[in-house]
A and B are shown apart, each in its own frame.
Chain A
Amino acid sequence: MENLIGLLVAAPLLGAAVLLCGGKRLDRAGHWLGTALAAASFVIGVVLFADMLGRDGEERALHSHVFSWIPVEGFQADVAFQLDQLSMTFVLLISGVGTLIHLYSVGYMEHDARRRRFFGYLNLFLAAMLLLVLADNYLLLYAGWEGVGLASYLLIGFWQHKPSAATAAKKAFIVNRVGDMGLSIAIMLMFTTFGTFAFEPVLAGAGETSEGMLTAIGLMLLLAACGKSAQVPLQSWLGDAMEGPTPVSALIHAATMVTAGVYLITRSGAVFNGAPDAQLVVTIVGAVTLIFGAIVGCAKDDIKKALAGSTMSQIGYMVLAAGLGPIGYVFAIMHLVTHGFFKAGLFLGAGSVMHGMNDEVDMRKYGGLRKYMPVTFVTFGLGYLAIIGFPGLSGFWSKDKIIEAAFAKGGTEGWILGGVALLGAAITAYYMTRVMLMTFFGEPRWKRDASGAVAGASPQRPDVEPVAENAADADTAHPATGAAAEPHPHESPKSMTIPMIVLAFGSVFAGGLFSLNSSFVHWLEPVTGHDHGHSPLSAAAVTSATVVVLLTGVALAWAQYGRRPVPVLAPRGSLLTRAARRDLLQDDFNHVALVKPGEYLTRGLVYVDAKAVDGAVNGTAAAFGGLSGRMRKVQNGFVRSYAVSMFGGTAVLIAATLLMRAV
């Protein structure tokens, strides 16, 4: 069984290698190869899962040593895998949801000339993410971590002919780099403290290490998690990452990439348990991001960006839960899994809507689509109910537990965190209802009146003009129609709807299944530990509070977007709305706080380089050059002048000799 673990990673990696190196002859069948290898990984995962269920809680972890990577005296880095319950959960999520997204992409990317390459990158993404969650030491985890960063860069910038996509890819990569630096520093600190970076000795040794060191490691790990999981302050890349094809967004937001940070914190639980300060920072980051993402999600008219805000917010929930320590680890992972289902479903649904609407992403130009896309409507609707935490669906079970756990933290902290989590639940209900109402209900705002203009508005909003610059752009499934033609909403092909249906099932039932007899808690407990905490509120009180805020949020959204018609042109909105449309000024902040000082620093350094460094070097060279120019004149090529110098030298020598003798 141990030998199968390596195959989990090897299958998609092989797919990536074959697809990327195989050349054009694979263009016709390459996407099926990629999908098959992702599915193979999932099947192996299921086999290992079945095998794991056959053993008792404590003996479920499998280890597999593949080869020594860097064997040096006093430094041992191995390529070795560890498959325990936590990794298993991730493996099933990544490969399962990943396979569905592969399948969806077959339909979605049908007209793209570079589809083979796209599937190669998708496979690479899966392989890197699986490597990340299967590694048994931090260095190998780091390798997977970087692989995820690379694959996300390639995929976000997949439509590289669009400058915005190329920029978004660079932004994601650079922002992630900051987090990666945190991870590398954490690994170095671990090595100096524990002399190793394998999970087992590090986590076992965390108990005997000073709290200061654990706090330092914890904060560096948190920085890493912030980068990959798009938490404040490294959240800015996530919204722009929507430039990638929609399946990529689904993959990044549901199965891979953003979950890595939560995994890292949960995996390093022992470090955080010994560092309460670091844990407090984790919860604060989670709480801030939770509200931040939710507010951004409320203001965006771009369906994908609204969902991106929602992802940020939901990951905030997970980070918050992970920061709570043993009370929250299990629920963080549980929410991660249920979120994986419904967020993938929502993104695939959004992609399906865009597919039928000429790639229009502005929700103000949707409306009334439920009649035209029944399957998308139902699956998206189930995902919607799941994410807002409608009682009985997946999101309810996991989110409710996180809110409970936040209260169970105890003390003032507990009240604040619990309050924030509740507020987040209300805002989540609000913005998701908004998305739902604007997209599937109300008047069809995409219909043209007799004069050919979009009903009630001029189509001249530069930021929402569909991209029609490149006829080869495969996302433009209906080439050359551009902004002028009326879209003909239609249901997407089977390869796209089937994954959505499967994910909708997950969105509905996964949470309930996990909560049945607390099965998920018992499943993860041997790895992460679990503690019930002492909640000042009873579970029933928290649940009813959750439902109340949920209904409030829905009612507010309905009052604003359901009862009244949605204007096609966005109203100016309040100061907060305008700020939220600009992602709460995150880019402006980064520009003022980081880019500008960076530019000034660079300019200053260039000046110093040009004047001081180059000045010294060039000055020395010029001095020697001038001196030799003078001295060269002595060598005039005339024999007689050489003779003069010989005589002169001789005379000086003789004079000196006589002088010495006289003294």
Chain B
Amino acid sequence: MSPVNYLYLASLLFTIGAAGVLIRRNSIVVFMCVELMLNACNLAFVAFSRMHGNLDGQIMAFFTMVVAAAEVVVGLAIIVMLFRSRHSASVDDASLMKL
């Protein structure tokens, strides 16, 4: 099976993730969509690693996982605090930054 198909899959997943980030209001879902985009990138990295025959892409994928793990910790903490303070997980409710 051609590695190009993996790239198709990766871009499909990335698109789904991006669309989710832009469209969904629930912050948990938005968060998961971000994770989906990260994993789509990982998939692309690994596919390229396979295509070019060196391990750089796989190493990058590990890095991404570590960053993603850290991000999950911080992000979930924020979401939990947000939910506690305003009893809603909607990203549109957290719009205090505007005037």
Additional A-B contact list (6), CB under 8 Å, known A635-B98, A636-B95, A638-B91: A632-B99, A637-B96, A637-B97, A639-B92, A639-B94, A640-B22
**Interface size of B as a range:** 10 to 19
**Mask of A633-654 contacts with B, CB within 8 angstroms, 1/0:** 0011111100110010000000
Contacts of A632 in B (CB 8 A): 99
Question: Is B18 on the interface with A (CB-CB < 8 A)?
Answer: yes
Contacts of B23 in A (CB 8 A): 640
- In the complex, the chain A residue whose C-beta lies closest to that of B18 is A647
Contacts of B92 in A (CB 8 A): 638-640
Give the complex CA separation of A643 and B22 in angstroms.
Answer: 7
Contacts of A640 in B (CB 8 A): 21-23, 25, 30, 91-92
Contacts of A635 in B (CB 8 A): 97-99
Contacts of B18 in A (CB 8 A): 647
**From A636, A637, A644, contact of B22 by CB (8 A):** A644
Give the complex CA separation of A635 and B95 in angstroms.
Answer: 10
**From B21, B95, B99, contact of A638 by CB (8 A):** B95
Interface residues of A in 607-663 (CB under 8 A from B): 632, 635-640, 643-644, 647
Interface residues of B in 55-99 (CB under 8 A from A): 91-92, 94-99
- In the complex, the chain B residue whose C-beta lies closest to that of A641 is B22
- In the complex, the chain A residue whose C-beta lies closest to that of B96 is A637
A: number of interface residues (CB 8 Å)? 10
Give the complex CA separation of A647 and B14 in angstroms.
Answer: 12
Q: How far is the CB of B89 from chain A (nearest CB, A)?
A: 12
Give the complex CA separation of A438 and B96 in angstroms.
Answer: 91
Contacts of A639 in B (CB 8 A): 30, 91-92, 94-95
**From B21, B30, B98, contact of A636 by CB (8 A):** B98
> Can you list 5 residue pairs at the A/B interface with Cβ under 8 Å?
A632-B99, A638-B92, A640-B30, A640-B92, A643-B21
Contacts of B98 in A (CB 8 A): 635-638
Give the complex CA separation of A176 and B72 in angstroms.
Answer: 84
Give the complex CA separation of A639 and B25 in angstroms.
Answer: 10
Give the complex CA separation of A636 and B92 in angstroms.
Answer: 10
Q: How far is the CB of A634 from chain B (nearest CB, A)?
A: 10
Listed from nearest, the 3 A-B pairs whose CB atoms lie closest are A637-B98, A637-B95, A637-B97
Give the complex CA separation of A638 and B18 in angstroms.
Answer: 16
Give the complex CA separation of A638 and B30 in angstroms.
Answer: 13
- In the complex, the chain B residue whose C-beta lies closest to that of A646 is B21
Give the complex CA separation of A632 and B18 in angstroms.
Answer: 25
Q: How far is the CB of B23 from chain A (nearest CB, A)?
A: 8
Q: How far is the CB of A134 from chain B (nearest CB, A)?
A: 71
Give the complex CA separation of A636 and B97 in angstroms.
Answer: 8
Contacts of A638 in B (CB 8 A): 91-92, 95, 98
Q: How far is the CB of A13 from chain B (nearest CB, A)?
A: 64
- In the complex, the chain B residue whose C-beta lies closest to that of A634 is B98
Contacts of A636 in B (CB 8 A): 95, 98
Contacts of A637 in B (CB 8 A): 95-98
- In the complex, the chain A residue whose C-beta lies closest to that of B97 is A637
**A647-B22 in contact (CB<8A):** yes
Contacts of B30 in A (CB 8 A): 639-640
Give the complex CA separation of A378 and B71 in angstroms.
Answer: 113
Give the complex CA separation of A632 and B95 in angstroms.
Answer: 14
A639, A643, A644, A647: residue with the most chain B Cβ atoms closer than 10 Å: A639
Give the complex CA separation of A647 and B33 in angstroms.
Answer: 14
- In the complex, the chain A residue whose C-beta lies closest to that of B25 is A640
Give the complex CA separation of A643 and B24 in angstroms.
Answer: 12
Give the complex CA separation of A638 and B92 in angstroms.
Answer: 6
Contacts of B95 in A (CB 8 A): 636-639
Q: How far is the CB of B20 from chain A (nearest CB, A)?
A: 10
Give the complex CA separation of A638 and B27 in angstroms.
Answer: 12
**Mask of B7-35 contacts with A, CB within 8 angstroms, 1/0:** 00000000000100111010000100000
Give the complex CA separation of A636 and B18 in angstroms.
Answer: 20
Contacts of B99 in A (CB 8 A): 632, 635
Contacts of B96 in A (CB 8 A): 637
Contacts of B22 in A (CB 8 A): 640, 643-644, 647
